[in-house]
Chains A and B, each alone.
Chain A
Amino acid sequence: MLSRPSWFNITSLVVGFSFLYLPIVILIVFSFNDAQLATVWSGFSTRWYGGMLQNEQLMQAVWITLRIGLTSATLATVLGTLAALVLARQGRFFGRSLFSGMIYAPLVMPEVILGLSLVLLFVAMDQNQGFWTIMIAHTTFSMCYVTVIVQSRLSEFDRSLEEAAMDLGCPPVRTFFHITLPQILPGILAGWMLAFTLSLNDLVIASFNAGPETTTLPMRIYGQVKLGGTPEINAISTILILLMTVGVILASVLTKRQRLKRMEEERLAAAHL
């Protein structure tokens, strides 16, 4: 039923969206502000985008953040997928509930506590804090997200496919790579994307585990804002927002188009009896 929206609906929609997106819009608008002071509008300019690229500290932070994100997301995806396979496939084994509880704990654990405990561990192990400690810390907390996604994908997976492969002479390990992996790949990719995003966004855990040479982008932004934000920060934030938006739209368009194509093909197959 398509009926005319009432005034109440329109108002609540406007208020809700403003609440969510007004701050972001303001950030984007001020990234094009000519003035040095971030709060006063003095004309349109793109000079902060150029300045941002000249800012060596900022660019270094971007580079470190990307490296940590790529490595920790990859490691978390491998470990998280293995954990999901064990949980989905091993059936009931001794310590299963403990294992799954421990896998999922970081989902609800306060970041501060997670960060602190990791610091204590690295100090006890006499490790210098830096790239590796942040990378391991990010792997630890993002792994559980990968497990959740991959496990849900595995639960939809028709196990008779694996049996069919083995029945046709395919040993178990080859079966995993030939049959299982291609089927759960979308879940694994989604898990990787999520882990990468989480690593990119993280401030708290990174702050705990960072060394003097390793300042990630969120840490740099946070530090700069505390000293009074510069428009350069607005510029780089705008670029981040843009990248995220494009990523999300691309992903949803791709999956939607795939689904539509599939539905169309199934309809055609049924019609040509």
Chain B
Amino acid sequence: MKKPLGPVRRAFSPWDNPSEQPFIEFCNVTKRFGRVVAVDDLSLKIYEREFHALLGGSGCGKTTLIRMLAGFEVPSEGQIYLQGQDLSGVPPYKRPMNMMFQSYALFPHMSVTKNIAFGLEMDGLPSREIKDRVYDMLALVRLEGFAKRRPHQLTDGQRQRVALARSLAKRPKVLLLDEPLAALEKKLREETQLELINLQEQLKITFLIVTHDQEEAMTVADRISLMHMGKIMQNATPGEIYEQPNSRFVAEFLGDINVLDGQISKKQDDEVQLYSSVLGDHLDVHYPTPAEVGDHAALAIRPEKMRISLDKPEQTDINAIRGEVWDIAYMGDVSIYHVKVAETETLRAIVANTTRLVQRPITWEDQVWLSWDSDAGVILLA
């Protein structure tokens, strides 16, 4: 299965094509548990062969959403369609999709072979074919030597692969993955993420993954739906959701970000000027925004887009502010500088440690300049 990562993944963006029919569609789906609203009037379209990630903290409704798709929960309101067919009333054992559970849910009293064959036996396939398919699946997840083992005789990583093989054995139209890698240690998890991507390209089926790990979502998914309190806050490709967050929540959920509150003081097309009262300074931003002069807004800049220097930058078409180094977090590959730019405002700049110098030119309590390009930041309204 381990083929080299191809040159570039094919340009795949059916969501931009208005004539494309969604493969899975959630239409105004609401799910209540008693008085708690787990999923709140949510609509979402997922396309064929898409790798879609539902990302969010615990209790955001992502697991409820995937469980409704699998048929384990019934929506309180709204419909779910698969290839245009309404799924309401279809029991889980008749839905052409399979799920990989967070706990793997391997049947402890059955061998690896029996576990993988279970779904095929339920379909009443001839035993000859079951045998072949189980063998293919074992080869796919590289567990040929473990066919006769019981689940408790396997390591976590092997169990995870058995669960994956079992959920793929029936060749489902959609594979649902509920926090599939949460139990694996970091290194194995990263490897498995790449394997999942390759597997999805190889099998050409639609994957829907639920995860709380933003790096995992960014790594594997074509598109990410970031969920919060039963709603989708933003549904976009990893690049868009990171570089063009539509709200402060999304910006702050994904990675680290500096947010400066202010007021729009000047605007001409996409050239915006924001006045920050904390800094007492006007900041230039190149970003399309519906905001008008006088509106309250915030400027958000990722720390890795900030530059830090001892001398004032010579360029004049960039933003540059003075500050004092308050703290330095050395992470090995990068260092994070916390720079106090006002009494109540500290901004962070990430600098890659490209040389093997332990002694850095900039250190605690140095007076420094923070600078960034006008198109590095994002205007947030909410």
Contacts and interface: CB of A to CB of B under 8 A. Distances in A.
A269 B152 contact: yes
B99 A167 contact: yes
A262 B154 CA distance: 11
Contact of B93 (A161, A166, A268): A166
A160 B103 contact: yes
Chain A: interface size category? 20 to 34
Interface string B78-113: 000000000000011110001101110111110000
Contacts of A213: none
Contact of A168 (B98, B102, B154): B98
Interface string A136-167: 00000000000000000000001011011111
A161 B91 CA distance: 16
A52 interface: no
B135 interface: no
Interface residues of B, number: 31
A169 B105 contact: no
B249 interface: no
B105 A164 contact: yes
Contacts of A266: 152-153
Contacts of A161: 105, 107-108
A182 B105 CA distance: 15
B49 interface: no
A273 interface: yes
Contacts of B106: 164
Interface in A159-218: 160-161, 163-172, 174, 179, 182-183
B155 A269 contact: yes
A169 B153 contact: no
Given A160-B105, A161-B107, A182-B109, A168 B122 contact: yes
B118 A165 contact: yes
Given A269-B154, A270-B155, A179 B107 contact: yes
A187 to B, nearest CB: 14
A272 B93 contact: no
B92 A167 contact: yes
B14 interface: no
Contacts of A160: 101-103, 105
Given A262-B152, A268-B153, A269-B155, A169 B119 contact: yes
5 contacts: A166-B71, A168-B93, A169-B94, A262-B152, A265-B153
Given A163-B101, A165-B118, A269-B155, 14 more contacts: A158-B103, A161-B105, A163-B105, A164-B166, A166-B72, A167-B93, A168-B98, A168-B118, A168-B170, A169-B119, A169-B123, A172-B93, A183-B108, A268-B153
Interface of B: 70-72, 91-94, 98-99, 101-103, 105-109, 118-119, 122-123, 150, 152-155, 157-158, 166-167, 170
